[in-house]
Amino acid sequence: MNAIELLEQQHREVEKLFDKIEKAESEEKQELFDEIADALAVHAAIEEQHFYPATKDARTEELLHEAVEEHLAVKRIIADLLEMEVDDPQFDAKIKVLKEQVEHHVEEEEKQLFPKVKKVHSKDELEDLGILMERTARELKEQGAPRMQVPSETGAAAPLD
Ligand SMILES: [Fe+2]
């Protein structure tokens, strides 16, 4: 799959999970949070390892620096949530802040970054990049619970190369 299609598909999946968790009761909430955290961990990893370095140039660099800072903010919220019980009075509020941060990040990628990337990179390049990203995503899921990597990534934003 084309790299941008893959990322957009992941964005839609995570939006659905946020809609579900807002309506969920506590047991289901834990499962849904684990799913959201796994999905965001995989998404951030394939962007940071493949998509951002491969698409970095003078036109995208500023947006990419901002993107990895946004990932960092998202990872810090996920790390907090991993330590919380779902019935903690702050849990729902933190989920809401996570959702807002993710929505903002998704909008910037889809409205600003992806259109620039599409202009510079050919369909074939994006197809090859997508294959690489799908492979890494699969590997991370096979290792199990990709969210558990997140707390070790909260020190600083990921490097862009
Ligand atoms: Fe991202």
pLDDT digits (tens, 9 = 90+) for 67-83: 999 999 999 999 999 99
Instruction: Place 108 in a pLDDT band, splitting at 50, 70 and 90.
Output: very high
Res 27: pLDDT: 83
State the distance from the centre of ligand 1 to the C-alpha of 47, rounded, in angstroms.
6
State the distance from the centre of ligand 1 to the C-alpha of 69, rounded, in angstroms.
10
State the distance from the centre of ligand 1 to the C-alpha of 43, rounded, in angstroms.
7
State the distance from the centre of ligand 1 to the C-alpha of 29, rounded, in angstroms.
24
State the distance from the centre of ligand 1 to the C-alpha of 155, rounded, in angstroms.
17
- Indicate the average pLDDT of the chain: 96
Measured from the Cβ of residue 142, the count of other Cβ atoms closer than 10 Å reads 8
State the distance from the centre of ligand 1 to the C-alpha of 66, rounded, in angstroms.
10
| Surrounding residues of ion ligand 1, Cβ less than 5 A | 47
Checking if the pLDDT of 142 tops 90, the result is yes
State the distance from the centre of ligand 1 to the C-alpha of 105, rounded, in angstroms.
6
State the distance from the centre of ligand 1 to the C-alpha of 97, rounded, in angstroms.
16
State the distance from the centre of ligand 1 to the C-alpha of 101, rounded, in angstroms.
11
State the distance from the centre of ligand 1 to the C-alpha of 116, rounded, in angstroms.
15
Res 25: pLDDT: 87
Instruction: Place 63 in a pLDDT band, splitting at 50, 70 and 90.
Output: very high
Tell me the domains of the chain and their CATH numbers: 3-151 (1.20.120.520)
- Mean pLDDT along residues 129-137: 97
Tokens 């600083």 found at: 156
Checking if the pLDDT of 44 tops 90, the result is yes
* Long-range contact set of residues 55-59: C-beta below 8 Å, sequence gap at least 24: 55/113, 55/117, 55/120, 55/121, 56/160, 56/161, 57/120, 59/116, 59/120
State the distance from the centre of ligand 1 to the C-alpha of 61, rounded, in angstroms.
14
